[in-house]
Amino acid sequence: MTLHLSKYVSGGEIINTRNNSIHGYVALRGCDRPIVLQLTGNCSPDLVGRHLKFEAYSDPAIDPEPVTEEQMDELRLGWMQIGVPGEMTIAQYPRLYLEWHGQNGHTVIDLLHPLIEFVDPADDDIDDDADDTPTYDDLEEAEQEIAGMLDDAVDDEDMDVDSSWNSDSEAAEHDDEDPFGLFPPDLNASLGESTSPPWTSEPDEATLAQWKEWDEVFEGTRDVPLSSLFDPPIQLPPEEALSDQQVAELFNVILKQLALHNVAFHMCEHFTPRGGYQLLVNQILREYGIHPELPRIGYTMSFDTSEFCAECAADFDERYGAEQSDTTPEDLDFDTPPDDSSLDDPPF
Ligand SMILES: [Zn+2]
């Protein structure tokens, strides 16, 4: 099944200026929280190496739908999308087509006539963080600010709010002191009765259960082998038996499957799909486990080839100085990437 997000999307950015990595965000109409992208792979050829900003065209015929964070949660949307890209292209402009395989499986954004802007990679170095910041609807920001001011005024008896500000507020009709119904009816009573805060210091059962699950995730007490996530089991031959094309296809299959279980595999620019496949098949899928219910818990586990990469380790030494790294080689836990000599029996 495909998750179609097009009608919710108001804009976003796609950045593929580093090999094997697509990051950026997708903003949703009416929703403050953007979907963040951290995909492993590259865009279609026309967008490789590019940093693209886009804004959806508001065509009444498309029936754009404002959404809330809660509505997207009902779709069990992963707010930080990991996995692998499909087609990501503007080759058929005025069409922008963005497709990937993440925690929600096959996901598609297909926009006609979006505004497109390319960001010069040179500007990225200077202003990367600012470029990643989504813009919010001014009105919503103003509303939040007002709600915050009302919050601060909770104990102020002289609070004088013009109830015509929101004339269709139902609460205004039966409670003049709280025209927007922002506060529980017994708030004043509970504040008056006790000097202790009106909330309990004991976590409820649901919270305790949640903490227990997070402990299980981090302590690994319920972990299952990563290789057990492949149901039905998948044949993963040793890489030397495969052509580049076959390796790339199987590598993609593995990453798609891992993404469905909230497991990300990020690649540094030194790794090829063949190197990534080797690392997964010979080491990671064999040696690592995960909590079997990460999607429900909402946690994403990430592997990164840079932790297994000699070149990244050398870059790190160069950047931070051999003096410092000499003192912490065990902490860094860098391994050299697997090479032919490290291959042994076929793993599966
Ligand atoms: Zn590397």
Predicted pLDDT at 60: 66
Residue 118 sits in the same domain as residue 223: no
Q: How many angstroms is it from 304 CA to the middle of ligand 1?
A: 9
pLDDT at residue 215 is higher than 60: yes
Predicted pLDDT at 140: 52
Would you give the DSSP letter of residue 19? Answer: T
- Nearest CA to 56 out of 5, 112, 132 is that of 112
As a whole number of angstroms, the distance between CA 27 and CA 35 comes to 6
How does the average pLDDT of the chain come out, rounded? 78
- Is 25 a member of any domain? yes
Q: How many angstroms is it from 76 CA to the middle of ligand 1?
A: 33
Q: How many angstroms is it from 307 CA to the middle of ligand 1?
A: 8
Predicted pLDDT at 200: 64
pLDDT tens string 299-322: 999 999 999 999 999 999 998 876
Predicted pLDDT at 220: 86
**Contact between residue 56 and residue 110 where contact means Cβ atoms under 8 Å apart:** no
Q: How many angstroms is it from 68 CA to the middle of ligand 1?
A: 39
Predicted pLDDT at 346: 41
Q: How many angstroms is it from 264 CA to the middle of ligand 1?
A: 16
SS3 341: helix
pLDDT tens string 224-280: 888 888 878 888 999 999 999 999 999 999 999 999 999 999 999 999 999 999 999
> Averaging pLDDT over each range in 119-133, 146-160, 268-282, 284-298, which range is the top one?
268-282
**Contact between residue 59 and residue 118 where contact means Cβ atoms under 8 Å apart:** no
Residue 118 sits in the same domain as residue 237: no
| Domain limits for position 83 | 2-129
- Is 272 a member of any domain? yes
pLDDT at residue 164 is higher than 90: no
Would you give the DSSP letter of residue 116? Answer: E
Q: How many angstroms is it from 300 CA to the middle of ligand 1?
A: 22
Residue carrying structure tokens 């693209």: 52
Last residue of some domain: 129, 162, 192? 129
Q: How many angstroms is it from 305 CA to the middle of ligand 1?
A: 6
- Is 164 a member of any domain? no
- Domains: count for the chain: 2
Q: How many angstroms is it from 89 CA to the middle of ligand 1?
A: 27
The residue that leads in pLDDT, 222 or 244, is 244
- Is 137 a member of any domain? no
- Is 142 a member of any domain? no
pLDDT tens string 54-90: 999 876 665 667 889 999 988 889 999 999 999 999 9
Predicted pLDDT at 119: 94
Q: How many angstroms is it from 329 CA to the middle of ligand 1?
A: 17
- Nearest CA to 145 out of 240, 51, 256, 32 is that of 32
Q: How many angstroms is it from 269 CA to the middle of ligand 1?
A: 6
Last residue of some domain: 83, 112, 129? 129
pLDDT at residue 47 is higher than 80: yes
Last residue of some domain: 96, 129, 162? 129
Please give all residues whose CB falls under 5 A of ion ligand 1, grouped by chain where several chains appear. Answer: 268, 270, 306, 309, 311-312
Give this prediction's pTM: 0.69
Q: How many angstroms is it from 318 CA to the middle of ligand 1?
A: 13
Residue 219 sits in the same domain as residue 337: yes
pLDDT tens string 78-125: 999 999 999 999 999 899 999 999 999 999 999 999 999 999 877 765
